[in-house]
Structures are given as C-alpha cells and as structure tokens.
Structure 1
Amino acid sequence: MEVALLTVGDELLSGDTENTNASWLGRQLTAAGATVTRVLTVPDDESVIADAVARYHEAFDAVIVTGGIGGTPDDVTKAGVAQAFGRDLVVPDGVRAHLEAKAEQFAADNPEMVDRYEMELDLDAWASIPEGGQALLTDESFAAGCVVESVYVLPGIPAELKAMYATVADDFDGDRTTATIHTPAPEGALVGAVTAARERFDVAVGSYPRKDDAPGRVKITGDDPETVSEAAAWLRERIETV
C-alpha cells in the first residue's frame, strides 16, 4: 500500500512550526506495513491543495492530508480537497448537531473564557465536509475531518491528528516488513555490506548516520518477512552492531 502525505500550512513552510505530523504519520504507516512514497508541504492556498490532492489521488493508494480544518480564514484544507474532486462543501445535519452540542458544553464549562474573548464558532465551517465524504469526529477536535474516496483529511494540531488517525488506522495495513540494525560504525564503513545486501536479497537497504549519542542504523525493508530476516542476519555477520 503506497501512501502520500500532504501537509498544509504557511507556518510549516516558513519554519515557524516544525512538521512533526509528517514524521509521526510516517512512523505509524511504516509500522503498519504501508509505504510512504511522497511527503509534500503546501501553503494555505485552496488551488494549490486541490492540484496536489488530485495528482496524488491518481498516483497512490491513499493520501493523508493534514492542516487547518476549522473555521478560521486560513483553514482552507477541506475546501481544497473538495475542489480537487469537483464537489461542494456540505454541512451534514448529524455532524453539525454533534459539534453544536460540543460547543454548548464547552461554553458551559468555560463561561469566563467565552465571555472574555466573545468567542463565536462558525459551526457550519467546522462541520463542513466535501459532498459524499465520510465525516470523522473525535472528542479531541471540534472540527470534522473526513474521508473522500481514498483521501483522508485530518487536523493539523498534533494531538487532534493522532486521535483522528486512530479512527482510521486499520485502513492502512500493508505487507511491508522492516528490520533495523544499530551500529557504531560510520556510514563510510557500511557501503560495501549495504551494496552487497541490496544485490543479494530482494530488499531495500538504507544506512543512516550516527546522531548525537545515538548509534547509526541500517534499515532493511521488503515484502517478504523471511527475506528481510535473512538479509538482516547476513548483515549482522558483516557489520559491527550494538
């Protein structure tokens, strides 16, 4: 299963916010056996989002889009996805009712905050999803995420992203298997063994340098668990390990 990640946000491109969502999703998907084939970050621009979603939807088994899905002016992620499919944004009655009840409970629990900041939520914007999509709702997020065909639209706030991803995680089971070898050796000393393993076994082998006090890594990935295991054992006999 090949998955593309599309992270949306001007703040990601400017470096104001670190893109931890992409790395977290990459780890989850790889652990599930899926293969992340693309990671792209785009600005809060509806047409740019639409273009990327349309291209990736055609090219990959699934696309995960993360970004603003609430009701502020720069939350255009869902609108961009709707444009990619040529659909309108709609407000399902059940989704709006869910968010309205949630907003009322929040106001009851936080009256001083609501009064102080004169908070008003655009519930239609928070509840909207592309027509024909499946809404995704969690306790952690006010706004509704959604699934449109094989495109998954999730929040940009990390805690909300993780909670909503958990509701669809079972959709990303794959056949990829990974083994990791930790080594104190520098990358230059691994070239021969890594090259030979790639030629000898039907696997992908990558080497990654030491970082701070952590050892380097050799990562073996393939579709057949037995082949991955054999390649890892072969490499362990030829490189220094920790």
Structure 2
Amino acid sequence: MPNAAAIVTAALLVIGDEILSGRTKDKNIGYVADYLTALGIDLREVRVVPDDETEIVDALNALRARYSYVFTTGGIGPTHDDITADCVAKAFGVGISHDERAVAMLRERYANAEDLTEARLRMARIPHGADLVENPISKAPGFRIGNVIVMAGVPSIMQAMLDAVAPTLRTGVKMQSVSIDTRALPEGLYGTALGAVQKEHPGVVIGSYPSFDGKRFTNQIVVRARDEAVLAAAAAAVEAMLSRLESERAEKP
C-alpha cells in the first residue's frame, strides 16, 4: 500500500463574482480535476469565492495549510476588481509591485508604449518572491509563491499556464479505477451489500453513480485505489456481490 508520503493533494480556489452570479459558467474545475488526476495529484477540495479580499485571503490561508498545492483561477486581469494578486501577497505577508520580468513579457505583446496602459500594467503586479508562470497566449503571466499557483480564469489561458507549471510539480502514486456496470440492478437493491464490500476493503474508494437518460435509470459502480492488487480484489468483490444479487433476484417468483 502506498504511504501518506506518496500522496500529493491539491485544492482549487475559483475566484470571481461572475461565477457565483451565474454570469460566467465555470469551465475550469473539471479540466483541472482531470489534469491533476492524470499527474498523480488528488484534487481534494474546490471552493468558489467572490471578489472580496477577506474571503480570498481566508480561503487561501485555510487551503494552503491543508493541501500540498492550491491552484487559483480568476482575478488577475487589468480591472479594479482583479484583486487576486494583492490578496495572495496579503495572505503571505509580502509586498507587491510591478515585476520587471512581467513588464518585459507584456512589452512583447504591446510593442507600442502607448498600448501598455496603466490598466494593463496591473497584470505585471506580482507578489515579492514569486516565480512567474508563463502565459504563451496573452503574455500576462500567472505566478507561484509557496505552494500556491495563481492562474487566469479564461480557460484557454488557464490550460496553457497549467501546462507550463506541471513539470515543476511534485506528484504521487496515481489513483487507478475500474468501472463496473450494475446489470440493471437498482441502487436500492445493492446499496447495503456495497457498503459491506467497502468496509471489507478499506484501501479503496467505492462510489455508485446513477444516471438518467430520460427513460430509465442506469447505475455504475466505480472502484478506485492506488495499489493494483487491492483494486483488483475490491473490484472482484463488487462483481461477486452483483452476481449474487442478480441470481437471488432471478430466483424470486
């Protein structure tokens, strides 16, 4: 069994009034979850907070103390409500100012001095001591300080930043999974027995996921573990449980 040192965890902090109001539909959570899982990093928590300094600072301090990494999306643009960088600086107790490295990156995009407006220069304000995260799309960088990685909210830019930072991340043993069709057995029939299987296999995570196609419900059981042998044993136990219940159901008059 992998030990705790082999497990790397993360949280995602989504920042923006527009997300909470429904004005913008988040497209980053699922992408980040898939991406980190593939790397061997467990996304354990997602929080969504408004563009409010206290809310952002409190969430950052809570999450960075709890997880290996905290990724943030949103709030690093050129307008007055883009306050993420200032909040990160406050959370870490460091200063913030225009970073010459970031300014140079912006000058690559805005060759004419008059185009590099005061508002755009806001995107070059970086907490002191942070490393920059490259943004090949619009040049305005993200940054990393401690275990916090700050990225844009625009999906294509966020994805590019995630690609840029990924090689520098510590990763753990990847979680593996097996999906098992329940053969049309309803959750109410196998729920208790599935709970018993879970108790017998503490090294795995077992979930039951129903779906509805507009006409009927179908269910799928997903078994997840880091150890292949443990995973195989638990999956076999689930299959045996379903076969037994299926047989008992068929025998009933």
TM-score (structure 1 length as normaliser) = 0.85
Which has the higher mean CA deviation after the structures are superposed, 148-157 or 195-204? 195-204
Alignment identity in percent?
31
Distance (whole Å) between structure 2 residues aligned to residue 166 and residue 229 of structure 1 = 32
User: Counterpart of 1:3 in structure 2: which amino acid?
Assistant: A
> Which residue is 2:166 aligned to?
169
* Structure 2 residue 154 is matched with structure 1 residue 153: no
> Which residue is 2:196 aligned to?
196
User: Counterpart of 1:194 in structure 2: which amino acid?
Assistant: L
Distance (whole Å) between structure 2 residues aligned to residue 167 and residue 234 of structure 1 = 41
Q: Secondary structure of 1:122's partner?
A: helix
> Which residue is 1:209 aligned to?
210
Which has the higher mean CA deviation after the structures are superposed, 203-212 or 50-59? 203-212
Distance (whole Å) between structure 1 residues aligned to residue 138 and residue 193 of structure 2 = 48
CA contact 2:180–2:239 (8 Å) conserved in 1: no
CA contact 1:2–1:60 (8 Å) conserved in 2: yes
User: Counterpart of 2:188 in structure 1: which amino acid?
Assistant: G
> Which residue is 1:96 aligned to?
103
CA contact 2:105–2:140 (8 Å) conserved in 1: no
> Which residue is 2:229 aligned to?
226
Q: Deviations over 1:14-54 (max 9, x none)?
A: 12222221122112222322222211100011221111101
Distance (whole Å) between structure 2 residues aligned to residue 25 and residue 145 of structure 1 = 16
Distance (whole Å) between structure 2 residues aligned to residue 157 and residue 6 of structure 1 = 14
Measure how far apart 1:168 and its partner are: 1.7
Measure how far apart 1:182 and its partner are: 4.3
- Residue ranges of structure 1 left out of the alignment (5+ in a row): 108-113
* Structure 2 residue 28 is matched with structure 1 residue 21: yes
Distance (whole Å) between structure 2 residues aligned to residue 37 and residue 223 of structure 1 = 15
Measure how far apart 1:193 and its partner are: 4.1
Distance (whole Å) between structure 2 residues aligned to residue 194 and residue 78 of structure 1 = 46
Distance (whole Å) between structure 2 residues aligned to residue 23 and residue 221 of structure 1 = 18
CA contact 2:110–2:116 (8 Å) conserved in 1: no
The counterpart of 2:58, out of the listed 51, 59, 69, is 51
> Which residue is 1:111 aligned to?
none
CA contact 1:208–1:218 (8 Å) conserved in 2: yes
Which has the higher mean CA deviation after the structures are superposed, 38-47 or 24-33? 24-33
CA contact 1:177–1:225 (8 Å) conserved in 2: no
Q: 1:148 to 1:119 in 2, by over 3 A?
A: closer
> Which residue is 2:251 aligned to?
none
The runs of at least 4 consecutive aligned structure 1 residues that moved more than 6 Å come to none
- Residue ranges of structure 2 left out of the alignment (5+ in a row): 1-7, 244-253
Measure how far apart 1:121 and its partner are: 6.0
Q: 1:143 to 1:211 in 2, by over 3 A?
A: farther
Measure how far apart 1:140 and its partner are: 1.5
> Which residue is 1:63 aligned to?
70
Measure how far apart 1:96 and its partner are: 0.8
> Which residue is 2:89 aligned to?
82
Which has the higher mean CA deviation after the structures are superposed, 171-180 or 118-127? 118-127
CA contact 1:4–1:56 (8 Å) conserved in 2: yes
Larger Rg: 2
Measure how far apart 1:145 and its partner are: 0.4
Q: 1:71 to 1:99 in 2, by over 3 A?
A: same
User: Counterpart of 2:134 in structure 1: which amino acid?
Assistant: L
User: Counterpart of 1:124 in structure 2: which amino acid?
Assistant: L
Distance (whole Å) between structure 2 residues aligned to residue 58 and residue 182 of structure 1 = 36
